[in-house]
Each structure stands twice: as C-alpha cells, then as structure tokens.
Amino acid sequence: MSNETILDVKNLSVSFKTPNGEVQAVRDVSFSVGKGETLAIVGESGSGKSVTTKALMGLLPAPKGYIKNGNILYGNEDFAKLSDKQMTKYRGKDFAMIFQDPMTSLNPTMKVGTQVMEGLRMHRGMNKEEAKKEAVRLLELVRIPDAEARMNQYPHQFSGGMRQRVVIAIALACDPKVLIADEPTTALDVTIQAQILDIMKDIQEEFETSIIFITHDLGVVANVADRVAVMYAGKIVEIGSVDELFYNPKHPYTWGLLGSMPTVDQREEELFAIPGTPPDLLHPPKGDAFAPRNRYALKIDYEEQPPMFQVSDTHYAATWLLHENSPDVQPPASVQQRIDEMNGKWEAGK
C-alpha cells in the first residue's frame, strides 16, 4: 500500500427529500483512501454507509437524493459537482461497484461470458477474441473452475457464491482504480464468505486496487481492512487502523459493536446488545446522536456535537469522553473481556 491518496472526501453531506421533510442521511463526513488500501466503513442499518458510497458513484436517486454539501476529490475532478452524464466517464472504468445481491447486477437472459466481455470491449477497446481471452482469465482469477466452459452458462446456473465471483470479475474487467464493495458477503454462508474475502485480498495485491468495503460485521473487517471508519447516524464517529479499532477502541458505539459480535463458544444469554434505536434523521439531535443509547453520556453530549479528538496520527474519535476534562471511562468489563477474547483469536489467526 502506497502513501498516495487516490480519493479524498471532504465534509460530505447527503440528504433525501421526503413528504415529511429533509432526511439528513449523511452529515459532514470526511475520509481519504490511499492507493492499494482497503478502507472498511462499518455501522448498523441506516447509519449512512451505503448512501455515502452511492454518492461517490453518482448513483443517488435524483432528484429525491442529492449531495447537499462537500467535495469528492478524485484527481483533478470533484465528483460532487459532476452531472450524471459526466459521471458515466468514471463509473465502471475508474470506479466499480460490487452489490450485495449479485442477481440484481447480472442480466438473467445473457450468458455470463458475454456480460464479462461487455466492459472489456466498451471501456478497454478489445476485439471479440481479446475480450474472450481476458474474460476467461478474470473468471479464473476469481476462482471459477472450468472458466472457459462456464462462459457459456447463464446466471441461474451458478450458485450464489459463484454469481458473486462473476460480479467481481465484471467489476475488475475495466481495471478500476477504486472498487466499492457494498456488503458483498452478507447473503453468503460463512465458508463462501471466507473464500470471497480471500479473493478480494488477492485482487488488491495483484491490481493494487483501492477498496472501500461496506459492512455491518466487524468480524469481516478484521480480515480484510487496513483502516476502519465507524459510522453512526450519518456521521463518522471513529476512524483508525484496523489494529487501533480492535485493540484500542475509544467511542462507546465502537465498544458496543465489538461487544455484540458473537463467538462460537458463547452462550445466547451472554450476547451484548446496544440498547435503544438510532435517531430519526428527519430531526437530527442537537448534541451527540449516540447519547440516548450511551450509558456514559455526559451532560454536554445532549447539548453539543463532539469534535473529532486525535488519539494518534491515524486514529480519531468523536466522543466527549476524550476531552481532557472528562472522567476517565473505560469499556465495561463485559465488553473489554469480549474485546480481549476476539483480539486473542484474531492475533492467533494472523
């Protein structure tokens, strides 16, 4: 992974117009992605992670969804300022996306090989023979056995895991600089999930592709990411290297996510849960959005949003608990025990 920044998102805010008013789905989000880096964006449903990536790709459902503020800087371009027509130059070629359900990405009436070849011919100018040869290579790269024969099959003849591999091959066809994977393993069983994650790691090494990996599962993050951004109620509440997030989490929401991860030897009654529900982003709270669910909330949490406090050169968290005048609060013992257990298992598996 190089130090070169390939994508720089600054103060991005995305809203949706609804009959009841403006839903502020993404609020003042900033992050960067380096060349060859995997950044995981983690959070529960409704945290704004998928909306953020749709904004990056120019896929917001206009006019209902729109970028209210901010910049999405890629080279000399600001994607936040481009029209849908201007974005077509970058979609597929520079930026590619892998969606959660491969059947929504694949045309059921077209052979798989034809679908992989389409991007090669359109964006890379290959003739039919060149495209066919490269399509077979890409299907082999994503570990589809007997790739040449399977080029002539239709999506319904593939299992869910194999279909997801085809979608990855299509995304790679144009040699994108940034690959956005939106919960690509959610619908798959654990064994297939692990295989897909291995493929993603191989891709990153071979192509030096930057990957933005969207997930609600911190267990997936440990195996695939270099850095992690934790989102809650449309904001990034903590960001740091994967080691920093797992060994030294600072935001109570991150503690909750780590503590609620199940383990194989855990009894059902031991599972930690974050109390309450996320706020309504039609009327975002005045202070810290997590305060009503945070047993360590301070008075200021209900009055003022916390800034991003610096923990290290690469680690930041938006919680008033990091203020020099706040009480010294550590993760609850049950959560700390879970974090220690997971870190021990993760370290053993490294």
Measured in residues, the chain has a length of 350
Six token digits for residue 283: 């009327």
- Return the pLDDT at 262: 67
Inter-residue contact 287 to 305 (CB < 8 Å)? yes
Q: What angle do CA 76, 173, 84 make, to 5 degrees?
A: 45
pLDDT confidence of residue 266 = 56
* Domain total of the chain: 2
Number of C-beta neighbours around residue 202 at 10 A: 13
Examine residue 22 and state whether it is found in any structural domain, yes or no.
no
- Evaluate whether residue 1 is within a structural domain: no
- Partners of 18 in the β-ladder: 21
- Reference 327, options 293, 302, 304, 296; nearest CA is 296
* Residues 6 or more apart whose Cβ sits within 8 Å of residue 256: 272, 274, 293, 335
Six token digits for residue 185: 């393993």
In the Cβ-directed half-sphere of 210, how many Cα atoms lie within 13 Å? Answer: 20
Last residue of a domain, one of 175, 204, 229: 175
Provide the pLDDT for residue 3: 74
Q: Give the range of the structural domain holding residue 111, as residue numbers without chain letter.
A: 103-175
How far apart are the C-alpha atoms of 298 and 321, rounded to whole Å? Answer: 8
Cβ-in-10-Å burial (0-12, 13-18, 19+) of 101 comes to: middle
* Residue 111 lies inside a defined structural domain of this protein: yes
- Give 10-residue mean pLDDT values along the chain (350 residues): 86 96 97 95 92 94 94 96 92 87 86 94 90 95 94 94 92 91 82 85 86 88 91 97 92 90 60 84 94 94 96 97 93 76 64
CB < 8 Å & 24+ apart, contacts of 187-192:
187/100, 187/101, 187/160, 188/160, 188/161, 188/164, 192/160, 192/161, 192/164
Residue 39: its H or E element? strand 38-42
Within a domain: 188: no
Question: Contact, 248 vs 315, CB < 8 A?
Answer: yes
Residue 261 has what pLDDT? Answer: 74
Residue 281 lies in a domain: yes
Q: What is the pLDDT of residue 260?
A: 79
Could you give the angle at the alpha carbon of 35 between the alpha carbons of 236 and 255, nearest 5°? 30
- The reply to whether 157 falls in a domain is yes
User: Which of these three, 134, 149, 175, is where a domain ends?
Assistant: 175
Asked, for residue 15, whether it belongs to a domain, the answer is no
168 and 257, same structural domain? no
**Domain boundary residue, one of 175, 191, 222:** 175
Domain assignment present for 202: no
Do residue 171 and residue 254 come from a single domain? no
Gap between the Cα atoms of 59 and 275, Å rounded: 33
Cβ burial 64-98 (10 Å sphere, 16+ → b, else e) = ebebbebebbbeeeebbebeeeebeebbbbbbbbb
